[in-house]
Structures are given as C-alpha cells and as structure tokens.
Amino acid sequence: DQQVKQNSPSLSVQEGRISILNCDYTNSMFDYFLWYKKYPAEGPTFLISISSIKDKNEDGRFTVFLNKSAKHLSLHIVPSQPGDSAVYFCAATSLTGNQFYFGTGTSLTVIP
C-alpha cells in the first residue's frame, strides 16, 4: 500500500507563475519529509526538506509547507522557470532515517 501519494501525475505552469505540487501521506510516524527533482536520464537530486516539528521551510524560490493534521505537504516554486521542468518526488522517513518512502512523482512543465 502506497504510504506516500502524489495524485497529480503532471502539471503545466506559465513561466513566472507559481507552481504548487502536492503530496499526501498515511503514516503518522513519519518525522521528515523531502522533495527531490529528477531530470531524464539522471538520478533524483535533493531539493528541500522539512521536519515534522515545523510547518514551513523556505530555500530561495522553493518553499515546502507541512500540514500534519491533514497529512499533507506541498512544494511551492515561485517564480517558476523553464529549467524547473522535471519530475518531482516527495519522500518521507522516520527520525532514524532508515527507510524512505517515495511518491509516484509529478511531472512539472514550465511553459516559456
């Protein structure tokens, strides 16, 4: 059973606008959440993370929001750029960081 879900397989956004990627999880024991970005023919690269004790973490154009009561997190990219076009995966793990559970990914296309 999928413990981390990304229900939108794809998203298209105009350059300069905000991109919002969503992720839901079922396991309340998760302590840490991450977003990865993946270009074709490359491995995923770490983008941003958030601890379960926070509700927001910001790094430049990227902000992750966590709503623990709803078991939901989102990644906001503002402003979106064509180079942001990639597949984005959310992932979750416990405090020990033993096992990581990934969502199925959302393919973001930023239109120039």
Partner 1 sequence: DADVTQTPRNRITKTGKRIMLECSQTKGHDRMYWYRQDPGLGLRLIYYSFDVKDINKGEISDGYSVSRQAQAKFSLSLESAIPNQTALYFCATSDTGTGKVYEQYFGPGTRLTVT
The binding site for partner 1 (CB under 8 A) comprises: 2, 4, 6, 32, 34, 36, 41-46, 49, 89, 91, 93, 97-105
- Output 10 or 14, the one with its CB closest to partner 1: 10
- Output 14 or 51, the one with its CB closest to partner 1: 51
Query: What gap in Å lies between CA 75 and CA 20, rounded to an integer?
Result: 6
CB of 44 to partner 1, least distance (A): 5
CB of 64 to partner 1, least distance (A): 13
- Output 45 or 67, the one with its CB closest to partner 1: 45
Residue-wise over 7-44: b if at least 16 C-beta within 10 A, else e? eeeebebeeeeebbbbbbbeeeebebbbbbbbeeeeeb
